[in-house]
Every structure is written in structure tokens, then in C-alpha cells.
Structure 1
Amino acid sequence: MNIKQILFFVVAVLLFSMETFAQRQFNLSSPDGRVTVKVEVGDDIKWSASLDGKPVILPGSVSMAVNKDILGKKPVLLSQSRRQINNRITVDVPRKNKTEQDLCNELLLQFKNNYSLIFRAYNEGAAYRFETKYKNEVLVENEDVNLSFNPGSQVFFPEEESIISHYERSYIDTALASLSLGRFCSLPVLVTSGGVRVLVTEADLFDYPNLFLSATAGNSLAAKFPPVLLQADPGKRPDRDEKIVKEADYIARTSGTRTFPWRVFTITDDDRKLAESDMVFKLSRPVAINDTKWIKPGKVAWDWWNANNIYGVDFEAGLNTATYKYYIDFAAKYGLEYIILDEGWSKTTTDLTAPNPDINLEELISYGKSKGVGVILWMLWKPLDQNMEKHLDQFVKWGAKGIKVDFMQRADQYMVNYYERVARECAKRQLLVDFHGAFKPSGLHRAYPNVMSYEGLKGAENNKWGKLITPDHNLTLPFIRMVAGAMDYTPGAMINANKVSFRDIFDNPMSMGTRCHQFAMYVVYESPLQMLADNPTHYYKEPESTEFISKMPVTWDETRVLDAKVSDYILVARRKGAKWYAGAMTDWTPRTLTLDCSFLPPGNYKIEMMQDGVNAGRNGNDYKKVVQKITNGSKLVLNLAAGGGWAGIIEKAD
């Protein structure tokens, strides 16, 4: 063989090797081996996922358009590396568990043109994200997220009518392929593919817009993002609304060296594991503030849902000092840490420095302090945005303990950054934050533990004007919205009705389902700032119910979902210290569940439980309190009425 032939052979081998390298496939399995992620690098980058070898997410491409270059098209793979992550995370404000195990296997693929793709496989699912290393700021024109599922897939679809949204949606249970082209939803969204649940959401969302997903008229979903907002004019309500006038042709202007949000997929054939999942927290950035000891979660007496309709008092109820002292007295009596002053405490919604003249705010806050009750102030996002530091300094001067920010209704990059700015500036001043009128949690609560809760759901307030907050709806939330993070649902209704007797009454609202359905929410629903939404007068008239609710913690050391089916029923046990708390909820179908007490350590226990009364199916207010002795060998039969529930508090027997 002459030199020319040798050179030709060497070149051919190199070209063949490069081509082979360019077409490589990578498999990444979860630590328990059940979840497998396959990544294919060819003309584009595709990934898929399976559970126990069964395809769940079918091959779909991923790419990102940055500075007119499409990362992921014609990729040139430079290197790959793998590692196992196994960390124990101590949670500052634990919504599920005091410690979380962050256990996964990771694959990092580095490509020419200064970008990488990172994939992770957890026992509970999978995730991926882009990372770039450019010197200068970049424009992200778009990111393609293409998700394909098995034929015949079903979806709980939180359909949006507009990209301007409070994320207050009902979940449409339908065939994925039945959704016409262009219909789109916010996250989280739950798909059932080949009998396996796939919960799609995102984590570590910073300086980047929220992801929405559009239907394709088939068994797939594709990314949709709100563009960068360039110009907005006041809407019909200029203190809170905006009319979008001009948008950019890109979705983010951001640092060129950064990691982008995780695309998160909880994958399981066990609905219990879906409700237990905390992937969003584990995939988000660590705590960004030095001191978290001041953060005090708690229960809250809330005024707006019950329209301040207290009675049996010798003063006129309303937005005044006397009414809120009544709320403070109620909170103090039952050991509630806070009250909220919702809309109306300020003279106008646009001036947050001038209290309503009928409310002596400083006197009220001082009165609350003397009773051990803090005050949280509601406000619209726009006035706060316009002079944030001045307003927050004033709230601290008054002695407020936190803020409730409302009506954001946008999910673009500016609004994501606004959330972080609120969290950061409030943390500097030791103020708690509750985001109402908000998009879903996406990891900010890990970086800033002073962020207590988010609405971003269709919650109890909708009982005031409609009939959509059914037990069926309530049984979707633990498996979809709550997987993303805490929920400001606002439970605690003391007027409880069945399908026939329910009425939507704005100033004197009620709930669908039984009283015990409401009790159970204090165990099932996660929120470190948990509301008692009803009228304090009603609670005073129901001391047995109120005393029971007041014993419920708002943070947890350990969580176990014992029995569950999406949209049908759930049975949860949670531990706080040495005590256990259990809650069960059902939809409109009466059910019998069994509480297997084997999760308890050996010993003798006392359980105090609230169960649906014999007539709860006719009158939702009917319940029965039962106290009995149990051991870890006990199995309690729980009879739940239509729209019913059950709740119990378990402690060591004397």
C-alpha cells in the first residue's frame, strides 16, 4: 500500500469515526433501573423515556434558537460525561419532608458552539435542560420542546384561553389526540401514556419565561412561550391590568453563560408516588439567602373570602379597625400566627403608603403583636413594582410580617424576574411572600424560602361565583398542581353542601362536599401559609371543628401517600415531630378506604378523628368526632360520603 492509499485509508477511518460519533446513542437509567432515558444525537437531538422497558415518552427533538443560531440542529458532539448525584437536602420550610434525598444519574453532553445538554434520571422521573457558555448577553428566539406519547394517551389539560392568565384552570380529562391544533395549556399538565402517568412541569425557572404546551391534533405537545413584552398600555382596570401593545420576536434577553430551566417529567405507574414527588424542589437552585431562621410559617385568618361578614358584635362589620381586631382576637384564641388584610386596607389600590382612614393600621399591627398575631398585607403587583423598596420599607416600619401580591397574570421573562425581585427584597427585610393571581411554583421557593405559597390554581374563592370547585376538581390538585409546589387554595369552609343544595353566594360562600372534606385538606394540601378562609363568627360557632383545624401543622417532617387515584381519592399520612396526621378525600363517589397504621412505630396510640356523619351525603355539615386507641397493627375502615373526607391526629397514648 503506497502513501496515497494509506492517507486515503486514514482519512476514511477518521470520517467514519466522526460520522459514527455524530450518530451516537446514549442510555441513562435511574438508580433503581426502572426509568430509562435514551438520547440520540444525529442531524438533531432526540430523547425518549421508558418505564420498565415500556416506552412512555416517544422520541422527540429538542433545540434552542439563540442569536439566530439553532442549538441542537446539526450538532457536533465534543464530549460526554456521567455522574451519580446522591445528596441529602435539609429543607428550610418543608412542604413534604424535612430532608429530601436528591438521588439520580446524570448525563452531560457537550457540543461545539458552547452549549451542553444535561439529562437526569430519577427513580421518580426524568429531566433535561440546556446550558450555554457565551461571553456576552444573548437573545433566545425560541426553545423547542416536543413531547410525543403513545397512541391513545389521555390528558388532564389545564386549557388556557390566553397567554395572559392567572393559571386558574379546570383540568379537562380527555384524549390527547382529541385536542385540536393550537389549543394550549399552562403547566403542570398530566398525561397518561401507555397506562403510565407523566406529569410535565419545569424547575429552576429564573430570568426566562414560563413554558406553555400546545396541542398538535395528535398524541404530542409542543412548546409555546410568552415573548418579551416591549410596550403595554393600561387595561380596563389600570391598577392591575395591562393591554399588550408590542412584543419582541424573542422570548428572553439573558446572560450568555447560564443554565436554563429544567424540563421536568415525573414518570410513574403508581398515583401515590405522583403525589409524593418533589422533583421541582430537588432540581431548583439552593438557598440564596444567608439567614432563614426568622421565617415563620403558620395559619392565617383570611377576610376576603367571607367578605368580613362577622355578626353578633356591637360594631358595624367591614373594612375598619374594630373588625380586624375581631380577626386578631379570633386568631389569638386558636393559636393562628397571622391575619391577612386583603383588598381595602389601603386608601386606594395604587397608593400603598396611605391606609384606609377607617383602619388605624399601626394600632392594629401593634394590637396583633400584643396578642402574638402578625399582619400580612395584600397588594396589587403594579403599584408594588413601581416603587418596591420604598413600599417594603414602609411595611417594615409599620411592623407587617409579610405581603400577599396579586393579579400578576403574566408569565413572561419580566414577570419571572419580578417574582424573584419581590422574594429577594422581602427576604432582605424579613418579610414573608404569598403570590396570588400567580403562575405555578417553579423552584423559587427553594432559593427563597420566605416565599410561602402560590395560588396558580382554581381554588376555593371560585365558590363565591360558580360551581366549578367540585370534589372531583379538588381530587385533581394533589396529583397535578401540587406536584409543582405549595398551593394557596384557601380551605376551611364551614357551610358545606352537596350537589343539590350548593349555591354560589358571593358574600356568604359555601363549599361543595362535606365538612370532613375540608378538614382533610389541612393534611392533604400543602401550604406553609395555610388559610382559614371562612368567617370567624362561623368558626366561633363551631368550636369543635375550629379546635381540630387549629391543631394542624403547616410544615411536615415526613409524608407518605398511602392510597390514591388521580381525580378520585387520596389518603395521606404526614408526621410532625412525634405526632402523625392523616387525611382522606373522595370525589362525588362514596368510598370505603382503609387506614393501615403500619407506618407508625411500635407502641400504643390515641387517634382523634373527624369522620363524615351518617347524613353527610344529604347535609355536608354532618360529621362525627371519634377518639380511640390504636397500634401500628390497627386497620381503620374509613367510610367517606359523596364529596366526603376524613382526618385524624395520632399521638402516643398516655
Structure 2
Amino acid sequence: MNKKSAMMSLVLLPMMSMAQSVTSPNGNVEVKFSLTGNGQPTYEMSYKGKTVCKPSHLGLELVKDKHASKGKDETDLMDGFSETGSKTSSFDETWKPVWGETATIRNNYNELEVNLNQPSTKRNITIRFRVYDYGMGLRYEFPQQNELNYFVIKEEHTQFAMTDDHTAYWIPGDYDTQEYEYQITPMTGIREVISNNREVYKSNSSTTVFSDTGVQTSLQLKTNDGLYINIHEAACLDYPTMHLNLDEKTLTFESWLTPDAVGRKGFIQTPFNTPWRTVLVSDDARDMLSCKLTLNLNEPCKIDDTSWIHPTKYCGVWWNMIVGTKSWAYTYDYPSVRLGVTDYGKCKPNGVHGATNEEVKRYIDFAARNGLHEVLVEGWNEGWEDWFGHQKLDVFDFVTPYPDFDIRMLNDYAHSKGVKLMMHHETSASILNYERHLEDAFNLMNKYGYDAVKTGYVGDIIPRGEYHYSQLSNNHYQHVIETAAKHHIMVNAHEATRPTGICRTWPNLVGNESARGTEYEAFGGSVPYHTVMLPFTRLQGGPMDYTPGIFETQLSTWSNNTSYVHTTLCGQLALYLVMYSPLQMAADLPEHYEKYDDAFQFIRDVACDWDDSKYIEAEPAKYITVARKAKGTDDWFVGGKTGEEEHLAVVKLDFLDKGRKYECAIYQDAADADYEKNPKAYKIVHKTVKKGDTLKIKEARGGGFAVSLKAV
């Protein structure tokens, strides 16, 4: 039931600069706003009396633009402001997500709205603060007005002034990718690591590291006196993605927006609201994972009928290509191909194409036997022979299958087995081409019964010179989501911008990659603590399609790939709980799951939609343990993941229903398990448990555990 309380008070303060404050509903978080002597907006923030952000300035620097200011020099929206009024209000509602970690989410905050005027330009702006028990969000609002209709942003100067040289968990600021391992250093150690790893940071398919002290959000910090701080953004719509750049002398992070092809940061028409700039804070690391600040700062769902949106477990023709035993391409006859010109009927098949009728049917049968909902197929469509590295505008048409992929037959076969195929649209980062073909591509999906698409944006963006996280690119990703909704299609976007909670408004956005995923385990691996960092960072904005479930972790046992997965087998099972997503892949090959069928039982059983979630223990890069109650049932699942050190998880079963017994299956690392030396050593323990019992489970290095608790 929703409960809303209207404005509590109205305070008119024309032309005054006295400090104002607003506190969270429980009083733990306080935000103060004031104008400096030269009229620059400034805020500061505290938690339980401890300073989180010292006085930090706000404002936007504008550029000279003939459309924005008739060719005249532009006046920045940085200072020279007077306050014309302010008001405070409170809001309290409980809303139901279409899918999520919990059945309901409470959105309870106190708000301060400050109205400002710049007398020299006669322009008005509003700065709005929403203060929660666990953090705050702020944004700039530009009402429609005679003196401010169009403007171009040179840079946004939102500051986050830290109190000390906190421990930072970070990846380098980059306009094109988040596919990095997280670094753990003092804030002042950022420069040294980036400077020493410049060449490493250029190794991805598309990278643009912009500063020696730049980092990406979501940025996790930890203070020496026990505070956890997280800086991010929410509701990034029609705006470039925000990064942070550190001033090492003042220990101040400042927003740094992604530019367009000519270096401009944003083209704005009023009325307009910027994304929210968020600061999450607590003295308990578990709050970093359970509090829904980013979601709450987004608008309610805009899809009237959401019955077609469903959490999904899937497998697919993918891992073989990633590891290198199969190919996306159909033929090796030609060094390049042209859509509508190359005759694949005259080409010799290369013999290792993955998306063949026979192979896809094998995955469909596996999915049907094991209760998986869908089968992803990559490399089904013409054009993969020279899809990457050539900046081709017309690389794919998204409707023409290879000769060995019978799209009608395979979809009919899948549907006869109670399974659906999942579409794959790799755009090769040509967003111009994708938008030209989008309606035809979605119409084809509707024709054959596809209801989900995995999109990809590998490579440099076309139009050439644009970045993956620019305003234009972000508008493209949103256009795809909204167009897909009209066709009742769910979207799982890879290599797109990092999510900022938009899945609340558009819940057909069921997943993103936007981080270093499992595929990198085949490209040299990721540090064992990587998956114990992502929930504190990347997952702050929305779920990730991490593609877990690799059982044959030592790839050389079945391929020529010498890399290995940097977790134990049970650590892979833990990811289905620790890495929350309504879209979960059983990413390994069917024959590998058949080899470890007793462990695969957990993947069969585990849910991907939840009524409740309780974070039992957490510490960034160290360990996470979470319990989740499956949607519409009395069954619980528990997962624990650790980093580079062993960990003893203590799970008190206080969340179970009183008076009930539960059949408990514990999938845990064997005594001698180790992600490097003995990754596939595990044991399964069965017992009956009840509320009040305690499980003590040892996790190996890079290991983890998974527990199913089925109500008797």
C-alpha cells in the first residue's frame, strides 16, 4: 500500500545564502546546502555525525555554441547565484518490482528543493536533494524559461570532497569499456597504477582511458574509521555517462562526463533534469548490497502490461566459441563478405561453425531435460567472417541466417520441447546500422517466437568518433529498450553503458554486461576477488549477465586454451546467488554438466526471482554471503563467495519459518579444494534443518558454497 505525505514546509528565502539542511527519515544522514560568497552552490554530507563529503561545489560549465547562445560567449552555470526559495518535503511508498531481489521495495526519503537565479543572465535552476537513511541523491533541474532554452555542456563540476585518503576499489576511467579487474589502493594510489598499466588498459577491443586519476562509477570506498561509501549515478537518460576524476591535493572527486565525437559533453533543451548523483553510506558493508538507492531514484514502470517479462535461466551456443573450439563464422573462403552480395551457398563451410542445426538441437534437448527456459545462439546470421576490426557500417542485417541454421525448423523444434531460442544481435558497435534494421529484426523475432535478445557492441562506435558512453550512444541503448518493449522483447545488452537503475522504469531491460564477465576467464582469467567486488560496484546500477556456471574450470583439459577459471566449482555455484540477476546462464557445455550431474542439480533447482533477500555477511573483495527466498514459494537458497583467502561462513538460519523443517543440500568446497590446485573438489551434504540452526561452511581460496533449503 502506498503512503505519500505532501510538502512539510515552505521556506521563502529570496536573495539569501544561509545554510539549509535536510536529514534522512531516521536522522542518520544529513545534507547541508549553502551558497559561497560568490554565489556558488555547495553541499556537505554526514552520517551519524561523521563527515562523508566535506563542502563540495556544484555547477556546470557551458561552451560557446551558435545554437545555444546566438554566437555570444556563454555564461557558466557555476556561480553568481542567489537563492529565490526552497522547500522541504517527505515521501514514503512501497512499490513492487516486476522482478527483483525482494517482492517489495520501500522508497522513503526527505527532500530539499533549492531554487536559484543567476541575476547576470536571468536564468533559473533548481538543485534537488533526496536524503535516505542510507544515502542521498542530487540532481540539477532546468525549467523552461526565456533565457535558457538550449545549451551545451563543456563539463559538469559536481564534487565529492573526501575527508581522507580512503581505500578505493576502482577501475580506470574509460569512455568505452568497463571490462577491467578492480584495483584496491588508497585514493592517492590511483595515478601510480594507471601510469604503470597504460598498455594493459589499451588491450581491450575499444578503450579510451582519459586521465591518470580518473575512475568509473560505481566507486566503492572504505574509510579508516569504518564507513563504507559508494558514489554512482541514477537515471542516466539523454545524458552522457559520468566518471570521476580525483584531485590528489584536495582528495576531491569531480564528475567527468563522456564527450561526443567533437569533445562536447551534452546537448540540452529545457525543461530538463540531469541524472541523479548518488552517495550511498553506511557503517555496515551489507547495506551497500541491500539498499536500493539507485532503483528508488528512477521513475516507476512505464510498461502497462508486464506479463510477458519473465526471469530466465538459459544455456547456449557460446562458451565453445569463447574458448576457441568453435567459430562464429560459417566459412574461411573469403577475407571479407558483403551483405546481399556474398553467396554463402557457394562457400565451403569451415567445419567448426557453432550455430549449426545439429548443435543447436543438442542444446535445446539439454535445456528441455533440465528445466532451462531458453537457448542462446550466437553466430547464427551472415556476416561474422569479417565482423570485427574493420569499422564496417553494414556488417549485419540481423535477419539473414547462415545456410546451416534453419530458423523456422529450430524455433518449431524448441517450442515443441517447451523451450525458446534467445536471439543474438551483435552490432559490431555500428549503432547507425542497428537502428536502420531494428524494426525488421524485432519483427523477425516476433514472427518466430523469440522473446529475448542479447545485444552486443564490440569495437569502436559508428558514427565514428563517438564513444560507448556518450549522450548519443546512451540515447541509442534507450531507443533499443523502448522499441523492444513495443515488441514484447526483453533486452540483455553487452558492451553498452553501465546501468543506472533504468530497469525499474523499463523492466524489459533484464540484464547488462558492462563489466569484465566470465568470458575473460578464457582470455587469461580474472582475480578471484573479482566477483566479490562486482556486487559492490557494477551491480549497484542493475543486474549483470555474468554467465556463471563453468564446471570444467581448467580449459586445457578439453581444448587448446591454457587459461583457467579463477574459482572452484562450488564458487561457480555461489555466483547464482551472489551475482543477482533475473537472467542466469548455465554457461558451460552440456557434456560438462553431465559429468558433474550431482553438482548441476543446484543449477536446476536455484531460482532467479525472489520474494526476499538477506545479506548475512559482506566485505568488499573478501566475502559475501546471501540468503534468498524463491518467488512464490517457501524455499530458500544461500550462496557464499570468497576472494583470495579462505573463509569460514557462519549462516544462522534465523530467516526460516518457525515450526517448519527444511531439506537442506549443501554444495561446498572439499577440504583440499583450491581454485588453482584443486578447483573441482567438492562435496554435497544433505541434512534436515530448522529455524535457529547454524551452518558453518569453509570456503576455499577463490571458492564458495551453495545451499538449497526446501520446505518440508
Instruction: Confirm or deny that 1:83 pairs with 2:97.
Output: no
1:140: how far off? 3.0
Task: Return 19-28 or 80-89, whichever deviates more.
Answer: 19-28
Match of 2:340 in 1: none
Residues in 2 aligned to 1:510 and 1:490: alpha-carbon distance in whole angstroms: 15
Match of 1:145 among 142, 155, 158: 158
Match of 2:461 in 1: none
Match of 1:374 in 2: 420
1:319: how far off? 2.5
Match of 1:123 in 2: 133
Could you list the runs of 5+ residues in structure 2 that have no partner in the other structure? Answer: 1-11, 63-67, 69-73, 118-122, 192-210, 327-350, 385-394, 459-466
CA distance 1:503–1:273, change in 2 (3 Å): farther
Match of 2:253 in 1: 221
- Output the amino acid matched with 2:302: A
Match of 1:417 among 468, 471, 475: 475
Match of 1:191 in 2: 221
Match of 1:574 among 628, 631, 634: 628
Whether the 8 Å contact between 2:17 and 2:34 is mirrored in structure 1 is: yes
Residues in 2 aligned to 1:628 and 1:318: alpha-carbon distance in whole angstroms: 42
- SS in structure 1 opposite 2:161? strand
Instruction: Confirm or deny that 1:487 pairs with 2:544.
Output: yes
Match of 1:3 in 2: none
- SS in structure 2 opposite 1:363? helix
Match of 2:699 in 1: 640
Match of 1:470 in 2: 527
**1:344-359 mapped onto 2 (5 Å cutoff):** 344-348=380-384, 349-359=395-405
Match of 1:32 in 2: 26
Residues in 2 aligned to 1:646 and 1:605: alpha-carbon distance in whole angstroms: 18
- SS in structure 1 opposite 2:399? coil
1:224: how far off? 1.2
Whether the 8 Å contact between 1:284 and 1:446 is mirrored in structure 2 is: yes
Match of 2:234 among 203, 217, 230: 203
Task: Provide the TM-score with structure 1 as the length reference.
Answer: 0.89
CA distance 1:317–1:507, change in 2 (3 Å): farther
- Output the amino acid matched with 1:256: T
CA distance 1:177–1:614, change in 2 (3 Å): closer
CA distance 1:21–1:502, change in 2 (3 Å): farther
Whether the 8 Å contact between 1:494 and 1:510 is mirrored in structure 2 is: no
Whether the 8 Å contact between 1:152 and 1:175 is mirrored in structure 2 is: yes
Residues in 1 aligned to 2:624 and 2:76: alpha-carbon distance in whole angstroms: 44
Q: Deviations over 1:200-245 (max 9, x none)?
A: 111111111100111222322122112233xxxxxxxxxxxxxxxx
CA distance 1:263–1:504, change in 2 (3 Å): farther
Residues in 1 aligned to 2:151 and 2:375: alpha-carbon distance in whole angstroms: 44
- SS in structure 1 opposite 2:277? strand
Residues in 2 aligned to 1:253 and 1:514: alpha-carbon distance in whole angstroms: 48
Residues in 1 aligned to 2:353 and 2:15: alpha-carbon distance in whole angstroms: 74
Instruction: Confirm or deny that 1:60 pairs with 2:114.
Output: no
Higher strand share: 1
- Output the amino acid matched with 1:319: A
Match of 1:270 in 2: 284
1:318: how far off? 2.8
Task: Return 390-399 or 36-45, whichever deviates more.
Answer: 390-399
Instruction: Confirm or deny that 1:396 pairs with 2:446.
Output: yes
Match of 1:528 in 2: 582
Match of 1:324 in 2: 360
- SS in structure 2 opposite 1:199? strand
- Output the amino acid matched with 2:268: T
Match of 2:371 in 1: 335
Match of 1:244 in 2: none
Match of 1:157 in 2: 170
Residues in 2 aligned to 1:537 and 1:510: alpha-carbon distance in whole angstroms: 18
- Output the amino acid matched with 1:441: P
Total equivalences in the alignment: 608
Residues in 1 aligned to 2:185 and 2:693: alpha-carbon distance in whole angstroms: 39
1:71: how far off? 2.8
Instruction: Confirm or deny that 1:592 pairs with 2:648.
Output: yes
Task: Provide the TM-score with structure 2 as the length reference.
Answer: 0.82
- SS in structure 2 opposite 1:427? helix
1:395: how far off? 2.3
Whether the 8 Å contact between 2:13 and 2:84 is mirrored in structure 1 is: no
Percentage of identical aligned residues: 26
Could you list the runs of 5+ residues in structure 1 that have no partner in the other structure? Answer: 1-17, 230-246
Q: Deviations over 1:43-67 (max 9, x none)?
A: 2111111111111111110102355
Match of 1:290 among 292, 297, 304: 304
- SS in structure 1 opposite 2:548? coil
- SS in structure 2 opposite 1:354? coil
Instruction: Confirm or deny that 1:427 pairs with 2:485.
Output: yes
Residues in 1 aligned to 2:543 and 2:277: alpha-carbon distance in whole angstroms: 19
- SS in structure 1 opposite 2:58? strand
CA distance 1:586–1:505, change in 2 (3 Å): farther
Match of 2:187 among 176, 183, 208: 176
